Amino acid sequence: MIYDTLILGSGPAGLAAAIYTSRANLKTLIIGGDLPGGQLMLTTEVEDYPGFSKGIQGPELMKEMMEQAKKMGAELITGNATSVNFSQKPFTITSGDNKYKSRSVVIATGASAKWLNLESEKRLTGQGVSACAVCDGAFFKDKDIVVIGGGDTAMREAIFLTRYAKSVKVIHRRDKLRAFPILQDRAFENKKISFVWDTVTEEFLGEKTLEGVKVKNLKTGKTSTIKCQGAFVAIGHKPNTDFLKGHIKLDKKGYIITKDEVKTDVPGVFAAGDVHDIKYKQASTAAGSGTKAALEIDDFLENGST
């Protein structure tokens, strides 16, 4: 079977694209990843997605988008794309033991959490060290926790963790935050949250479980230990594009390089969402780029436009 379009990823970008391509009567297959719904499946309340004045839970929002895509006629399978062949048409996407062919492709594989790449971090991941507060926060009731980072992700994690933790220390390498002002305000107003400025984490301490973190002040050079039972790394994300190297143009950080917003250097292959969005990284902007990719596909398949 040859599909009209294959969509890699089932977050807001991929599902928005699927809704539009399916509605245009294009035979659409979504290769949804191991966790259909993307990163929003790991969040709690989403307050900034248009149309929900009272907010909506991340998993509920993604469930609704998946159901909408299916209702329009899109097919959805789990699993990740492991390799691609864009050198000839129809394009071929491999996922596990299966190969799928399509006249066009939308890459919406998103991004994954970055780690500090410390030996102690790897050793203690799952034993007090985590990158997902929603996944693991409940395990740290009445515990002292640190959150590493200073952007939106770090502030959301810190605020969420105050539901369970006795205290949350935010360790940030700069002297001011990079998060949206509303998130900063909430964090500063929360009595459980305090800040450790101009500081980096050098080591996670403990043999079998986390007992603390060794930190270094970048201005004084002084090292010290912060005792804690939980540490959440929230320093950003890395685009999920390793399987694309050598097949389309990527920048030095692995983000897909696009022109005209969503077009890659391969005609018929488009990018949507965090996989190419270095700046905005919002669910609503991801959905918007998925919509743009779908509209470009419709034009490409009809007119052979590049």
Q: Dump pLDDT digits (tens) for 179-213.
A: 999 999 999 999 999 999 999 999 999 999 999 99
What is the average per-residue pLDDT within 235-245?
Answer: 94
Distance (Å, whole) CA 249 – CA 244: 9
Q: Which of residues 281 and 60 earns the better pLDDT score?
A: 60
Candidate from 39-48, 118-127, 206-215, 272-281 with smallest mean pLDDT: 39-48
Q: Is the model's pLDDT at 272 over the cut of 70?
A: yes
Does the pLDDT value for residue 47 go beyond 60? Answer: yes
Query: pLDDT-derived band of residue 303, with 50, 70 and 90 as boundaries?
Result: confident
Predicted confidence at residue 305, as pLDDT, reads 52
Helix H or strand E encompassing 56: strand 56-57
Helix or strand (DSSP H, E) at 298: helix 283-303
Predicted confidence (pLDDT) at residue 306 exceeds the cutoff of 50: no
Are β-strands 212-217 and 199-205 bridged in parallel, bridged antiparallel, or unpaired?
antiparallel
Distance CA 137, CA 232 (A): 9
pLDDT band at 279 (very low <50, low <70, confident <90, very high): confident
196 phi-psi bin (left φ>0, alpha ψ -120 to 50, beta other): beta
Higher per-residue pLDDT: 21 or 43: 21
Helix (H, G, I), strand (E, B) or coil at 111: strand
Write the CB contacts of 54 (distance below 8 Å, at least 6 apart in sequence): none
Q: How far is CA 241 from CA 57, 81, 109, 246, 251, in A?
A: 28, 10, 7, 11, 11
Judge if 2-112+237-303 and 115-233 fold alike in CATH terms.
yes
- At the second CATH level, the architecture of 2-112+237-303 is 3-Layer(bba) Sandwich (3.50)
Please state which CATH number belongs to domain 115-233: 3.50.50.60
Query: Which residues are known to be catalytic?
Result: 132, 135-136
pLDDT of residue 224: 98
Domain ranges of the chain: 2-112+237-303, 115-233
| Residue 232, pLDDT above cutoff 80 | yes
Does the pLDDT of residue 93 top 90, yes or no? Answer: yes
Stretch (H or E) spanning 242: none
Q: What percent of the chain has pLDDT over 90?
A: 87
Q: 121-165 pLDDT, tens per residue? A: 999 999 999 998 888 899 999 999 999 999 998 999 999 999 999
33: phi then psi, degrees, rounded to nearest 5: 85, 175
